[in-house]
Amino acid sequence: MRWQRLVIGLVVLWLAAACGSAQQTQNEEVLPTLASLEQPREYPLDGAIQTALDFLDRWQAGDFPAMYVLTTFSSQEATPLENFTRIYQTAQNEMTLEGLSYTGVTAYRDPSRADVALFNYSVTFTTRLLGEFTDNDRNLSLVVDPSTEEWRIAWTAGDIFKELAGGGQLRLEVSPPSRANIYDRDDLVLADQNGRAVIVRAVKQEITDWSTCLPLIAPAVNKQPADVQKIYDESSADWLMELGTIEPATYESSSALLEAACAAQFSSQPTRRYPNGTIAPNIVGAVGLPDESELPAVEAAGFDSDSIIGKSGIEQSWDERLRGQPGGRLLIVTPGGQVLREIARSASHPPESVWLTLETDLQARVTEIIAEYYANAKDSWGQQSNGAAAVVINVRTGEILAMVSYPTFDANVFSPFPSMGRQNAAQLMAQLQADTRRPLLNRATQGVYPLGSVMKVVSATAAADSGVYALDQRYSCSGIWNRDITRYDWLAGGHGTLNLAGALTQSCNPYFYEVGYQLNQYDIDTLPDYAMQMGLGVPTGLTDIAESPGLIPNPEWKRNVLGLEWTYSDAVNISIGQGEVQVTPLQVARMMAAVANGGYMYQPQLVWKVGILGEAPSYTMTPELLSNINVRPEVLAVIHEGLCAVTTERAGTAEYQFRDSPLQTIGVCGKTGTAQNRPGAVTHAWFAAWAPKDDPEIAVAVIVENGGEGSGVAAPITRDIMEYYFFR
């Protein structure tokens, strides 16, 4: 043990001194003195050493009551346990202490007092903010306590750091880095720190009338008076207090009054700004002040309650990279703020910017296209439609190039210091929260809808790949289907006899009612399993923003959740995307991408790279292949045949929308969908597609809530998106 080695060293030193005395007696007689005759022996030094080691062990363990027991009675009289504990806890919080270790150096007795000793040691502190640092040449004072006749620590606050004994105070000066930017893939800024706010400070003793100042300063800095009062109460008279932050407009209107009443001082501070705030607000997200539940983690990272953190979207999921790691200095200062000692310092870790996979010009144009269709339909379907969504995804990588949820909103509304001013922002926020169209919902990833006839892509794939249907299976597609239950086609007279590809092209309902029935006869789990295998009703793996898993009902779900047994009518409903089917537009886009690229299910991704400007990225996106739908190539070829004719053959459900489009030069393959949401309601309009036909590059999924028919509403929106993407 360290204390045993320490005692042995002291004994060696004593023996050396004794030998020197023996040599001296050979030459002259040494007469005993009163001191030597009365040197006490009942307080061995190793007892003092053990007490010191026990005290430090308990500090290491954070056991303050046990430390307190090892202090002298007079120390305890001067500092009650509650204060003792608070002093240590305050010091540890200020240091952001995570742990400590110590090393004993030496121990020695006071030459004039046998009951007084010093223990010299060093401590290495491990902190969250400052890392690890060592404080050397520290001394614990020990005395034999008369009340116990045992060694005890003659404790003062100087046993934490020696300068604290004279009234010094521990202060951590934090230097938080400025939050990094968010860019699109072409370096266009989506979020920056070019907004401005004003920090308000004041010296306590310079405020002549605090009762006049408080009711003025509290609303200006947007704080409760009690919170500002706490800052005032905990500050020394000559300290410069940071009272809060105000927006530029408030500074312009109130600075003179605050200077007069509060002796206020002002300095500028950068704040979050979204230059294109209505572009992808659901993706970029927003920032804000930490709430009570977030504060412990924020403070543990070296930030404080006034720090800006990510609250949603990319701002939240990449928050640690965007905000960096603060640096700081640990100081001991006088009550007046004079620095007595700098104990440790650390440099801040620079924040990292985030580049998204989005193409901002495409994102903006998709938003405009949808808005234009709503404006033109204000007297028709636009009256009952609450919103829409569109997703454009790279079929070879999973990169999301555009993801629009309509209606949109301005992300600046949620900034703590909004560019439009707090009052205007509050009004806009109230309007957003009251808007029945739910603009804050990201319909692309969190909106769930019945899929309608786009589901026929899955049904056809399941029928052919399972072997239940031949690749050229024919069926007489009349306007009605009946097997104890009756279902009707969207075309009253029917479509005649069709093969599998033709049934997709013309979207014949009875053909797929029969598909659902036959698949259910074969195996009741086949159709639901293929749907989930193709990415519907399951999370896509997107990690950067929230998404809903949706639902593909199956026999187990119906039994466990509804308490009902599965019937063939459930499979018939699923076959055309009705019943309890609930999917997101992102799932549909990924499903079409997999059909287009040969069956590869890539993880959708929104972040292209992360890093410090001018340096090599610390993260670069690579395609993440999550699975393969494992469908035979000849089956996919038939599916392609049917979908690519949707926009080219006269019988194709969307041919009339693409007839004169320049997209005919590259080919578009897609599927219309008209999904009944609830009885009596106007149907949802779907269109999902990819292009070019033979060398797929992008897949697009569009839904218009309660927009009517997919061919009449969603298909032309998809066409316009693709025309812009390929031909600008």
**Same domain? 117 vs 256:** no
Residue 273 contacts by C-beta under 8 Å, 6 or more apart in sequence? 191, 192, 193, 194, 195, 412, 415, 419
Reduced to 3 states (helix: H, G, I; strand: E, B; else coil), residue 702 is strand
Check whether 63 has a pLDDT greater than 60.
yes
CATH number at residue 135: 3.10.450.100
Across the range 114-118, mean pLDDT stands at: 93
Identify the residue whose tokens are 């312009």. 252
Nearby residues of 685 by Cβ (< 8 Å), 6 or more positions away: 381, 673, 674, 702, 703, 704, 707, 708, 709, 710, 712, 713, 714
Residue 386, in any domain of the structure: no
Sign of the torsion formed by the C-alpha atoms of 199, 200, 203 and 206: positive
Strands (E) in 187-297, as ranges, are 189-203, 240-246, 265-273, 286-288
CA–CA dist 587, 548 (Å, integer): 10
pLDDT value, residue 672 = 98
Are 405 and 389 in contact, with CB atoms under 8 Å apart?
yes
Which residue(s) pair with 168 in the sheet?
none
How far is 551 from 450, CA to CA, in rounded Å? 9
Q: Do 229 and 162 sit in the same domain of this protein?
A: no
pLDDT grade for 241, boundaries at 50, 70 and 90: confident
Query: How far apart are alpha carbons 6 and 48 in whole angstroms?
Result: 12
How is residue 300 written in tokens? 């543990």
Q: Which of 128, 144, 167 is the last residue of a domain?
A: 167
End residue of a domain, out of 167, 196, 229: 167
Q: Establish whether the linkage from the previous residue to 407 is cis, with ω within 30° of 0.
A: yes
Is the preceding omega at residue 623 within 30 degrees of 0, hence cis?
no
Q: What is the DSSP letter of 382?
A: G
412 within some domain: no
- Which pLDDT does position 177 carry in this prediction? 87
Cβ burial of 265 (10 Å; 0-12, 13-18, 19+) is middle
Angstrom distance (rounded) from CA 606 to CA 390: 15
| pLDDT given at position 636 | 98
Query: Any idea what DSSP says for residue 29?
Result: P
Cα torsion 142, 147, 148, 149: sign: positive
Arithmetic mean of pLDDT over the chain: 91
What average pLDDT does the segment 476-495 reach? 92
Q: Are both 146 and 198 inside the same structural domain? A: no
User: What tens digit of pLDDT does each residue of 662-706 get?
Assistant: 999 999 999 999 999 887 789 999 999 999 999 999 999 999 999
Burial of 345 (0-12, 13-18, 19+ CB in 10 A): middle
Helices 715-727 and 360-376, packing angle to 10 deg: 150
Structural domains counted in the chain: 3
Mean pLDDT of 169-188: 91
On whether residue 27 sits in a domain, the answer given is no
Q: How far apart are CA 78 and CA 52, in angstroms?
A: 20
Cα–Cα dist 544/619, whole Å = 14
- 16 pLDDT above the threshold of 80: no
pLDDT tens digit sequence for 711-727: 999 999 999 999 999 99
By residue count, the chain amounts to: 728
The answer to whether residue 566 is domain-embedded is yes
> Any bridge partners for residue 199, and if so which?
245, 267
- Name the domain boundary from 351, 377, 403: 351
Q: Nearest CA to 699 among 549, 598, 575?
A: 598
Q: Which residues pair with 71 in a beta bridge?
A: 153
Q: Check whether residue 160 and residue 237 sit in a common domain.
A: no
Is residue 186 located within the same domain as residue 163?
no
- What are 380-432's pLDDT values in tens digits? 999 999 999 999 999 999 999 999 999 999 999 998 888 787 888 889 999 99
Residue 186 DSSP SS3: coil
Task: Quote the pLDDT of residue 443.
Answer: 98
Task: Identify the CA nearest to 633 among candidates 445, 471, 501.
Answer: 471
For residue 6, pLDDT over 90 is answered with no
pLDDT at 21 over 50: no
Q: Where are the alpha helices (DSSP H) in 337-495?
A: 360-376, 422-434, 456-465
Is 249 a residue whose pLDDT tops 90?
no
Query: Within a 10 A sphere around the Cβ of 656, how many other Cβ atoms?
Result: 14
Q: What is the DSSP letter of 692?
A: S
Q: Among 404, 410, 401, which Cα is nearest to 374's? A: 404
User: What single-letter DSSP state applies at residue 699?
Assistant: E
In angstroms, rounded to a whole number, what is the distance separating the alpha carbons of residues 76 and 84? Answer: 9
- Say if strands 189-203 and 265-273 run parallel, antiparallel, or are unpaired: antiparallel
418-446 per-position pLDDT tens digit:
878 788 888 999 999 999 999 999 999 99
My answer on whether 157 and 248 are in the same domain is: no
Tokens 């204390």 belong to residue = 3
3 state SS of 268: strand
Same domain assignment for residues 215 and 109: no
pTM, rounded to two decimals: 0.81
Q: Are residues 258 and 321 in the same domain?
A: yes
Report the SS3 class of residue 452.
helix
Name the band, by pLDDT with cuts 50, 70 and 90, for residue 28: very low
Contact 545, 489 (CB under 8 A): no
Segment 155-167, tens digit of pLDDT: 999 999 999 998 8
Do 572 and 664 have their domain in common? yes
With a pLDDT cut of 90, the percent of the chain lying above it is 75
Same domain, 666 and 530: yes
Is the pLDDT at 22 greater than 60? The verdict is no
The CATH code of the domain that includes 251 is: 3.90.1310
Three-class SS string for 583-600?
Answer: ECHHHHHHHHHHHHHCCE
Q: Give the domain CATH number at 542.
A: 3.40.710.10
Residue 428 covered by a domain: no
What's the pLDDT score for residue 14?
36
Q: Establish if 429 belongs to a structural domain.
A: no
For residue 498, give the 3-state DSSP assignment.
strand
SS3 state at 80: coil
How far apart are alpha carbons 700 and 719 in whole angstroms? 10
- Residue 394: inside a domain: no
Q: Is the pLDDT of residue 577 over 80?
A: yes
C-alpha separations of 391 from 359, 406, 674 in Å: 12, 12, 18
Do 98 and 134 belong together in one domain?
yes
Which of 440, 445, 442 has the alpha carbon at shortest distance from 410? 440
Please check whether residue 402 lies inside any domain of the structure: no
Range of the domain at 124: 2-8+37-167
Q: Are 158 and 215 within one domain?
A: no
